[in-house]
Amino acid sequence: MLQILKMGDRNDRVPMMTRRTRRTTICATPAGANSKQANGSAGEKTSSQPSHSNRKVKEEKGVHEPVTTPRKERSKTSERFSCHVLQESLLSSASGYSNYRGILNWCVVMLVLCNARLFLENLIKYGILVDPIQVVSLFLKDPYNWPASCLVIVSNVFIMAALYTERRLSVGTISETTGTFLYLVNLTTLLFFPSATVLTLTSITPVGGAFALCVYTILFMKLYSYKDVNMWCREIRHTKARTLTRSHSCPSVAQSNGSAVHAHVSYPGNLTHRDIYYFVFAPTLCYELNFPRSPRIRKSFLLRRLFEMLFFIQLQIGLVQQWMVPTIQNSMKPFQDMDFSRMIERMLKLAVPNHLIWLIFFYWFFHSSMNFVAELMRFGDREFYQDWWNSETVTYFWSNWNIPVHKWCLRHFYKPLMGRGVNKWVAQTAIFLVSAFFHEYLVSVPLKMFRLWAFMGMMSQIPLAWFVGRFLRGNYGNAAVWISLIIGQPIAVLMYVHDFYVLHYVSQS
């Protein structure tokens, strides 16, 4: 037995020596030294051992090694057999090791495995719930009655009203005051007419109503921008400037797609049907007389975006039907019983599919769909989002996840307010107030139920932004932003669904 152990020991020693020799050879070259440091090992480990190449160089240069004394020989021998060096463990921060790629892969594998289990559990429990026909019923109650689509068609009236008001203003047949009044009527009606229609019509579904209101809200922001830019043009014309070399806007992106040479439009040459409809369909909320244009439509890019759009919309619908709806249905009882521990458990359960669907929605809307429309219209500015996922503050998130809205807020609200001497904090609060109003408008009106959860959710961003900015930095700030996104949304969703359920089902029964 002892012999076997000794043999084993001897066998072990040989490869170790071989390994050491190989390491020494690697470290003799500068590249080798670099590769060792990259792995986080101690670089000086082998520096005391002259390598073959070093020795060769010395011999070539005629440098002779001093005659080795027995003591030096002994220390050399002990160095040859030593297998320990002064070094830190890899996971100690002092080791300087930073290559955690394998851990990241492990996270991805664990994520896939956990979700595969959840997927299977869901299928076993509920069977297949995905039903594309049901999606149509979310938009339409009656196949012969399309109120949401009719509302969208009627929105053309407001576009025409804006164009004809601008034409009158440009030739001076109406005064600026009259123009402002007409715009006030037009834009106010633009907000109240669809909401009144959605609230009074019984044939419109909540999803159909939300879609129509989204279209009207976008149109409101676009026509507001149209009004402002044309007014700036008139101001410039009055100061005898002939062309619009404007930079009242947010910094426009460099024409990275290589803009084609287009006829330069100047005021009032822009007041045409073609120009206003280009702006209405373009993926931006900020009007400009001369948008940066891409030189051509890239067909393969367009097809890829189209494929993504179709695939991700199906995926979102499938995940909502198969994963979110059963979880929400199972959450109603704990909410009615006010069972807090079960409520939190349900909310955390809903957070996973909700967040996944939100991420897919982000990609589907801000990357696939907006790029598809932009490519089709040869609209050059493709900055629809920035790296919000690295947000270390809440304000960074709000300024970077939805660039079209952020640009509009800056150009037509924030900068004009700041220009009038309004305090920065007041201006930011005012923007969040307006944003909270629109969030509530887009949820409460289609649901025909005013609960202010969306409004409060948006307004709570102000104290949250202060707290994160004041107390959290770096990765902690980033984690706080992620937590607020993952937890905040399902709370709002559950609140609305619970209230809708109580209002329409419990009270009726």
Ligand X SMILES: CC(C)(COP(=O)(O)OP(=O)(O)OC[C@H]1O[C@@H](n2cnc3c(N)ncnc32)[C@H](O)[C@@H]1OP(=O)(O)O)[C@@H](O)C(=O)NCCC(=O)NCCS
CB 462 within 8 A of CB 429: yes
In the bound state with ligand X, the residue whose beta carbon lies nearer, of 331 and 399, is 399
Distance, in Å, from the CA atom of 146 to the CA atom of 141, rounded to the nearest integer, reads 9
Distance, in Å, from the CA atom of 343 to the CA atom of 490, rounded to the nearest integer, reads 11
- 402-441 residues near ligand X, rule: CB under 6 A: 402, 405-406, 409-410, 414-415, 418-419, 424, 428, 431, 435
CA dist 369 to 208, 285, 366, 386, Å?
A: 19, 15, 6, 16
CA dist 391 to 104, 418, 487, Å?
A: 20, 24, 16
C-alpha dihedral sign at 355, 365, 498, 441: positive
Min dist CB 304 to ligand X, Å, is 26
Distance, in Å, from the CA atom of 311 to the CA atom of 442, rounded to the nearest integer, reads 26
| CA neighbours closer than 13 Å in the CB half-sphere of residue 142 | 8
In the bound state with ligand X, the residue whose beta carbon lies nearer, of 250 and 456, is 250
Q: Give the number of residues in contact with ligand X, rule: CB under 6 A.
A: 18
Q: Comparing C-alpha atoms, which of 197, 193, 221 is closest to residue 209?
A: 197
Min dist CB 187 to ligand X, Å, is 19
Min dist CB 23 to ligand X, Å, is 52
Distance, in Å, from the CA atom of 15 to the CA atom of 11, rounded to the nearest integer, reads 7
Distance, in Å, from the CA atom of 387 to the CA atom of 403, rounded to the nearest integer, reads 11
Looking at residue 206, its amino acid is P
Min dist CB 461 to ligand X, Å, is 8
Which span (309-317, 391-399, 479-487, 497-505) binds ligand X, by CB under 6 A?
391-399
Min dist CB 405 to ligand X, Å, is 4
Distance, in Å, from the CA atom of 65 to the CA atom of 221, rounded to the nearest integer, reads 83
In the bound state with ligand X, the residue whose beta carbon lies nearer, of 403 and 495, is 403
The correct pick among 399, 444, 478, 484 for binding ligand X (CB under 6 A) is 399
Burial class of 421 by CB neighbour count within 10 A (0 to 12, 13 to 18, 19+): exposed
Q: Comparing C-alpha atoms, which of 414, 391, 413 is closest to residue 401?
A: 391
State the residue number with the nearest CB to ligand X: 435
CB 159 within 8 A of CB 223: yes
For the question of residue 406 being annotated catalytic, the response is no
Min dist CB 467 to ligand X, Å, is 16
In the bound state with ligand X, the residue whose beta carbon lies nearer, of 399 and 484, is 399
Which span (78-86, 373-381, 394-402, 493-501) binds ligand X, by CB under 6 A?
394-402
Min dist CB 436 to ligand X, Å, is 8
The correct pick among 180, 395, 460, 489 for binding ligand X (CB under 6 A) is 395
In the bound state with ligand X, the residue whose beta carbon lies nearer, of 129 and 231, is 231
CB atoms within 10 A of CB 122: 17
In the bound state with ligand X, the residue whose beta carbon lies nearer, of 462 and 502, is 462
Min dist CB 25 to ligand X, Å, is 55
200, containing H or E segment = helix 176-200
CB 436 within 8 A of CB 455: yes
84, 262, 273, 439: which is the annotated catalytic residue?
Answer: 439
| CA neighbours closer than 13 Å in the CB half-sphere of residue 464 | 24
CB 389 within 8 A of CB 261: no
CB 287 within 8 A of CB 225: yes
The correct pick among 15, 62, 127, 251 for binding ligand X (CB under 6 A) is 251
Min dist CB 419 to ligand X, Å, is 5
In the bound state with ligand X, the residue whose beta carbon lies nearer, of 161 and 468, is 468
CA dist 225 to 221, 379, 403, Å?
A: 6, 18, 15
User: 329-346 burial, b for 16+ CB within 10 Å, e for fewer?
Assistant: eebbebbeeeeeeebeeb
In the bound state with ligand X, the residue whose beta carbon lies nearer, of 410 and 494, is 410
In the bound state with ligand X, the residue whose beta carbon lies nearer, of 251 and 474, is 251
CA dist 135 to 138, 236, 314, 321, 323, Å?
A: 5, 50, 10, 9, 15
195 contacts ligand X (rule: CB under 6 A)? no
In the bound state with ligand X, the residue whose beta carbon lies nearer, of 39 and 429, is 429
Min dist CB 407 to ligand X, Å, is 8
Distance, in Å, from the CA atom of 324 to the CA atom of 327, rounded to the nearest integer, reads 5
- Sites of contact with ligand X (CB under 6 A): 250-251, 395, 398-399, 402, 405-406, 409-410, 414-415, 418-419, 424, 428, 431, 435
Q: Annotated catalytic sites, by residue?
A: 439
